[in-house]
Structure 1
Amino acid sequence: MHRTLRGAVAPLLFVLLALPALARDVRFRLVDSTGAPVVRARVSVLGRTGSATTGPEGEFRLDPVPPLPFEVAVSDERGAWLGLVRVVELGDQVSTTLTLPPPTRTEVVVRAGLAPTTIAPPAAAPSVVSRTEMEEKRPERLADALAEIPGTGKLDEGQTAVPSIRGMARSRVLLLVDDARVTSERRAGPSASYLDPFSLENVEVVRGPGSVAYGSDALGGILHSRTPMPTADALGGRFELSGGLAGSAGATGGVEANVPVGEAALLLQAHQRFFDDYEAPSGTIENSSSRDRGVLLRGMVPIGAARVFAGVQLDQGRDTGKPSLDSNVTETTYPEEDSLRVTVGADLPGLLGFTAVEVRAFWGRYDLLTARDRLQTATDPRRLSESDVEADDASFRAVGSRPLGRGSLRVGLDASTRFSLEALNTYTDYDMSGDVTGVTGEVAVEEASKVDLGAFVETEQPLVSGLLSVSAGLRGDQVRNRNRGGYFGDRSTSDGALSGFAAATVTPLSGLSVTAQYARGFRDPLLSDRYYRGISGRGFVTGNPDLVPETSNQYDLAARYSTGPFSLAAYAYLYRIQDLIERYKQGTDYYFRNRGEEELTGAELELSADAGKGLQVRLALGTTRGTILDDGSAAADVPPSSAVLTLDWAPTAEVWVRGRLSTYAPDDRPGPTEKPTPGYAVVDLAGGYRFPFGIEARLLLRNVLDKSYPGSSDELSVDAPGFGASLVLAGTF
């Protein structure tokens, strides 16, 4: 297999890198409304992922240049939104000057068609949830930030909710924070439950396959959270305090400071949150409380035309409850969840024949303690079962871009590893009077590791100028897993994988594009899927060391139309996952197996319109159906069909009002370990007032009609929060 990977990728890389850059030399220059150049900004074409960075005079290039007209979105070096520019013609001079309009509030909410720092094939459905959007709807968890994006859902209720995209979860959606993976041995997949949305500048969401650029775990899509980048422009900061009741019971606080140091800069951030057991229409949901805290330090240093940056992020979750229908029998909590992440990066222009090179490195340490407390009954004493899982993670990634022919070329090296994984189980028994009678322990995993080495290449080429372009990508991975000691003893596997995509985009009319795409990807099982035996959040689980990687055949169709203040995007997809890794229940325990083939089909529609006078309207529709082809049964983790209407109104510069109506269809096709769910509708309202001295007051009302509905389709899920109110005081300095 090693020869197969080298034979597939290495010659293609050599040939493409040797080709001359024959593209027409089309350059752009970005200026603000006063005519001053906009420096170090990210410029993204609406409908594409990725971006270009402006130089010292605001100059940048787009390879290839999209068919006219097109729109570019601009964010500053921190990732904050700056505006949208529509390009209707190219200048006759050496470069075309684009002028940013003065910023308006309606341009800083969620934008479909953008993912400035995330790479994905052309038929993917990208979106950006900005910091303003998160401030105004205040998602308590990362999964909640996706509420207005079609085709998304979540597993579980409470702080441990795991996001899903297009019916895929359980490590089939890749979570990134500042270009580095978030990995967890939880069977539901990583949730980054310790991550406070206050700490983020934005969240990029890509729906659709991402295996070529990112390898394993990106079959369903990518959820990329970005913390703010420090800037040398000015000394300043922000703060936020909030308190809530009923369905939003809890309190939060956060502060951030940006400190210039000559041409360099530092950013310091701290936050803390406390959530009480929330109220549902059925009453208080026990064991839904949690608390967390975190600090972040990032630094940025310019070196010539390059930019080097580094960050240290420490987050701690404490006493995080996992609410369940059987919490009165067995209570599950996560007493400790610790995440330490160190990131280093550099953006290098003009290196090794590339116009831009991005280098990212990461090391992290993650520790999760799970506790299942079987409560005492009239006949049985208490028993506390605990599992302590900890591991180190590291990655290195380098991506270079350059013109090629009339189009573009992107090549990358991508290496990631999880190592020093160990899992220890402890069982504490009590007598009927509550005294400890014995403590026993076992080593579930003594030491396990995974190493994934990958290389990829992507290209986009226009075949008929302004009418037809084609794109293709290829990736090779070599993945090695090793387990030493523990329940399953010494084991190892080594697998090679090829991923790829091919797409064609037609632009038949001004502002309209249609893309058809085929992609193939893979997903390697978690180390714990193979080698762990012990408790999990839902019960006792036994891994399967004989699991083989999943592979996928994924077909996507995307149509996008934009004209002036109106934009429309429609997506349809057919995904088939071979050797599906399924968690199933036998008796009271859970196991893993490869189960034939899963088929996921779906469609999504996104519409946005600027209605004038500060009013913006957004409509998102989504439906997904999942089937196990072996026997025609329903697949797990498939969200119900949904329609979400959002109205965002800013009548003045000081006042804003937001309303959202979310409707969900009944789901009578539950997957394994799931239950049917009813249809329901939820209304959320929010508003704010900005005072002249940099202070803003916000009021958020969730589930205004106090509707009762399940938090998820899990067979043990509890009711979602009922009516809740939060008051927020925020400001800048």
Structure 2
Amino acid sequence: MTPFAILPLLLSGTEQIEQIEVRAARDLLNSDNFNHAQAIFMSSEHVTSANNTVADWLTNMPSFSLNGQGGLYQSYSIRGLSRWRIRTNVNGIPIMTDRRAGNSASFIDPALVKNVSLLVGPSSLLYGSGAIAGVVSIESETYQPPTFSSTATDSDQSYSLLAANGNDKTSFAISHRAANEGKDANGETIYSAYEQSSIGLNYKTQLNQQYEFKVRLLGSLSNDVQKSSNDDFSKKASIYPNDIHSLADISLTGLTWHLNIFNHYQNWDSKVTRNEKRENLTSYQSHTLGSSFYKESMLASIPTRFGFDWVSRSGVKITDKETDFLNDEISNNTLIDGHYHNLGTYIQGKFSIQDIELNLGTRYDLIETKNLTHSKDEQHISGNFSARYPFNSQHTSTFTVGSAFRFPTLTELYFNGVTPRGNTLGNKNLKTEQSLSYELTHKIKINNYTLQGSYFRTNLSDYIERVRINDNTRTYINLDEATISGFELSASIAVSKMLSHSLTYSTQNGEDQSGNHLSDISPSKLSIVSKMNLGDYEVITDIFYRSEHKEFGSGESALPSLVSANIKANWFINEELTGTIGVTNLFNKLYKTTADEDAPYANERRIKIGIKWQRI
């Protein structure tokens, strides 16, 4: 489906159903009409952690956990599902990469980000393949007055700089940041150095006072990003020598419709050096092109939304250059030379039976991949049903059931090469993952108190698991069945205009059909965040607890229980100038952030200071 084929649809149904608030995530549009899913917005104002990546913005959410090895390219999980089971969008552009850890957006400096939204639960209805766990949507910042900010951190001597300016139509921002190697609480080196430069451009205007036209550009260049792990760096050094990303999207929005056309170019390298033995330089390159269109209308007096998606990864090329130091030989191999094409269409409607609000939708996807002489194609239908019942103005319950799927990636199917973790072998016989999820949520809101609890259960078939063949080789297999379930709780209270508290708790369990524990299941965790406003000062504290993790999956290890804390203070010096100081790992604990067997220890206690000037 090309973007031009759907332009005639824009002219039909011009009646305005409701003013649409256009955001990067389709699931958040017109939420009063269509969505019962949990959607959470976060901005940098709430972050007490190091704020190196947008993942740091979401760590206090009960559904969200950090995952994998760590460092700048930290990956994450949602409700025990990670890697390619999470859809990550930037300005509506799907981020599709060939990293085995998944599609994180760590190539974007958080200084260029306006907000991050987390959509929890099966989202294939609106997003297609890969949205089994949910969607992380990132929207870039638009700067109007001149802005300058700078931060610096001890321990790893990291720093960041931002300069931005703009007006009602146009804005631009340039940032640069870097870090040296850090240290854990025992003073041991953490190989997490990096250097990154980014740029953001935005243009927005009104056409005929009816349509909004928008152009957004994001670009980044990262150099010498160390792969943070517990490997002996003197024996096996893993880095990303360079990482280039360019994202562009053009959108046109009417009263009841939205059209987006986008492009994501990526070119990055991964280098693994085993001293005195060999070096593998793996190069990755691809173009993601596509468009999305959706429209709201009335169908038989029922508010209805329908849409079309086209996503194409072309020129996906992965090559490996191996230098054998012992035999003084160099070999070059093409590991992947292929493409990925996806066409999808969906329809969703909302209706009521007495006081029960019902939401029903379905989606059809056609997917085709090819690598050299191998190809694979498939058609898939997914759907979603939800019901919401307000008992009164204070109590509301929501029940949701949804199906989702994940087509195997080119890497899982065809990649046979060296990665920072060791040798990885693809499996061209992998089947498509499928899931059926259930969720029951009850929300209570009384004056300044809010309490919400959710129970969820996800049944997965043909779950794709990464397993070891030997100490240095991994591959992918399908598990016949797997189940993940859990409970989440969030509460907030505004004690006064000066003081507020929020609490989140989550617990998860995941097993395959044989009772073996799945990887990526997060330990139970509890977080208490307090915010205090004292005139020209603001203090935010975050105390968190993680339970002991004794039941773990393949490629993981046990974790002890943990209590730690972060704190941040803002000083509003005047209307234009703000100073910030923060401390992470306040108790200087020695702990690992994730259960990954290759994960390093977390950074020692660090102090971060910052200054921001924004002309009014």
Partner of 2:445: 562
CA contact (8 A) 2:252 2:260 kept: yes
Correspondence list, 1:131-280, <5 A? 131-134=44-47, 137=49, 139-155=51-67, 156-229=69-142, 236-246=145-155, 249-260=157-168, 265-280=169-184
1:479 maps onto 2:367 in alignment: yes
Alpha-carbon separation, structure 2, partners of 1:613 and 1:508: 29
Change (3 A) 1:192 1:19: closer
Shift of 1:200: 0.5
Change (3 A) 1:423 1:692: same
Q: How far apart are residue 151 of structure 1 and its match? A: 2.1
Conserved 8 A contact 1:366-1:390: yes
1:27–1:576 distance in 2 versus 1, CA, 3 Å:
closer
How far has the Cα of 1:26 moved from its partner? 9.8
CA contact (8 A) 1:702 1:723 kept: yes
Map residues 84-163 of structure 1 onto 2, 5 A cutoff. Answer: 121-122=35-36, 124-134=37-47, 137=49, 139-155=51-67, 156-163=69-76
1:667 to 549, 563, 585: 549
Of residues 396, 418, 421, the one that matches 2:291 is 396
1:217-269 residue CA offsets vs partner (Å, 9 max, x unmatched): 11001100000247xxxx513221011012x6411111221134xxxx11101
CA distance in 2, matches of 1:239, 1:182: 29
Q: Match of 2:586?
A: 704
Query: Are 1:348 and 2:238 matched, yes or no?
Result: no
1:336-361 deviation digits (Å, cap 9, x = unpaired): 11101111111112xxxxxx101111
1:368 aligns with 2:263: no
> What secondary structure sits across from 2:413 in the alignment?
helix
Picking from 314, 338, 343, the partner of 1:453 is 343
Distance 1:138 1:331, change over 3 A: closer
Counterpart position of 1:83:
none
- Secondary structure of the equivalent of 1:650? strand
The 2-side partners of 1:690 and 1:503 are apart by: 44
Deviations 1:547-594 (A, max 9, x none): 111111111111122233221211110001110111111112011111
**1:534-683 map, 5 Å:** 534-587=417-470, 588-629=472-513, 631-652=514-535, 654-683=536-565
Aligned pair partner of 2:356 in 461, 465, 468: 468
One-letter identity of the residue aligned with 1:341: L
1:419 equivalenced with 2:314 (yes/no):
yes
Change (3 A) 1:165 1:63: closer
Aligned to 2:574: 692
Report the Cα distance in structure 2 between the residues aligned to 1:702 and 1:673, rounded to whole angstroms. 28
How has the CA–CA distance of structure 1 residues 639 and 63 changed in structure 2, closer, same or farther, with 3 Å as cutoff? closer
One-letter amino acid matched to 2:577? I
Match of 1:317 in 2: 222
C-alpha change, 1:696 and 1:514, in structure 2 (3 Å) is same
Aligned to 1:87: none
Q: Unaligned 5+ residue runs, structure 1?
A: 1-13, 29-39, 53-61, 65-118, 350-355, 376-380, 485-489
Structure 2 stretches lacking a partner, 5+ long = 1-8
Shift of the alpha carbon at 1:27? 7.8
Distance in 2 between the 1:340 and 1:268 partners? 15
User: In the superposition, relative to structure 1, how do residues 289 and 27 fare at CA in structure 2: closer, same or farther (>3 Å)?
Assistant: closer
Distance 2:58 2:599 in 1: 20
Checking the alignment, whether the CA contact within 8 Å between 1:373 and 1:384 is kept in structure 2 is: yes
- How far, CA to CA, are the matches of 1:20 and 1:257 in structure 2? 36
Does the aligned pair in 2 maintain the 1:63–1:403 contact within 8 Å?
no
Kindly provide the CA deviation profile for residues 534-553 of structure 1, in whole angstroms up to 9, marking residues without a partner as x. Answer: 11221111111111111111
Query: Which residue of 2 is the match for residue 378 of structure 1?
Result: none
Instruction: Name the SS of the counterpart of 1:213 in structure 2.
Output: helix
Q: Secondary structure at the match of 2:412?
A: helix
**Structure 2 Cα separation of the partners of residues 468 and 730 of structure 1:** 48
Correspondent of 2:385 among 494, 502, 526: 502
Task: Give the letter for the 2:367 counterpart.
Answer: V
Q: CA deviation at 1:405?
A: 6.0
Contact 2:583 2:605 in 1 (8 A): yes
The aligned counterpart of 1:335 is 241
Question: What is the rounded CA distance, in whole Å, between the counterparts of 1:26 and 1:449 in structure 2?
Answer: 39
Q: CA deviation at 1:403?
A: 4.3
Tell me the matched-pair count. Answer: 601
What is the CA-CA distance between 1:287 and the residue it aligns to? 2.0
Distance 1:221 1:275 in 2: 31
Letter in 2 for 1:392: H
Q: How much has 1:20 moved relative to structure 2?
A: 13
Give the alignment's Cα RMSD to 1 decimal.
Answer: 2.3
Partner of 2:5: none
Displacement of 1:154 in angstroms is 1.7
User: CA offset at residue 728 of structure 1?
Assistant: 0.3
Q: Which has the larger radius of gyration?
A: 1
TM-score (norm 1): 0.79
Contact persistence 1:405–1:461 (CA under 8 A)? no
Tell me the distance in 2 between the aligned counterparts of 1:644 and 1:650.
Answer: 20
Deviation at 1:42, TM superposition (A): 6.7
Query: Deviation at 1:327?
Result: 2.7
Distance 1:310 1:424, change over 3 A: same
C-alpha change, 1:138 and 1:704, in structure 2 (3 Å) is: closer
- Structure 1 equivalent of residue 211 of structure 2: 306
Question: SS at the partner of 2:534?
Answer: coil
Q: 1:719 & 1:27 partners in 2: Cα distance? A: 50
Q: Give aligned-pair identity as a percent.
A: 19
Following superposition, the deviation at residue 385 of structure 1 comes to: 1.0
Instruction: Give me the whole-angstrom Cα distance separating, in 1, the residues matched to 2:531 and 2:32.
Output: 34
Aligned residue for 1:420, secondary structure, equals strand
Question: Letter of the aligned partner of 2:350 in structure 1?
Answer: E
- Tell me how far apart the structure 1 counterparts of residues 63 and 332 of structure 2 sit (CA, whole Å): 43
Mapped contact 2:221–2:243 kept (Cα < 8 A): yes
Q: Distance in 1 between matches of 2:261 and 2:12?
A: 27
Distance in 1 separating the partners of 2:357 and 2:21: 27
What amino acid is aligned across from residue 474 of structure 1 in structure 2?
T
Q: Aligned equivalents of 2:231 and 2:295: distance in 1?
A: 52
In 2, distance between residues paired with 1:693 and 1:287?
40
Q: Label 1:647 to 1:562 Cα distance change in 2 as closer, same or farther (>3 A).
A: same
Q: 1:442 aligns with which of 329, 333, 352?
A: 333
Residue in 2 that maps onto 1:722: 604
1:454-493 CA distance string (max 9 Å, x none): 00011111211xx211111100000011111xxxxx0111
Q: Counterpart in 1 of 2:3?
A: none
State the distance in 1 between where 2:102 and 2:23 align.
33
3-state SS of 2:154 partner: strand
Determine the C-alpha separation between the residues in 2 that align with 1:382 and 1:19: 67
Q: Does structure 2 retain, via aligned residues, the 8 Å contact 1:457–1:474?
A: yes
Q: Is the 8 A contact 2:434 2:462 kept in 1?
A: yes
Q: Calculate the TM-score normalised by the size of structure 2.
A: 0.93
In structure 2, the CA distance between the partners of 1:457 and 1:726, relative to structure 1 (3 Å rule), is: same
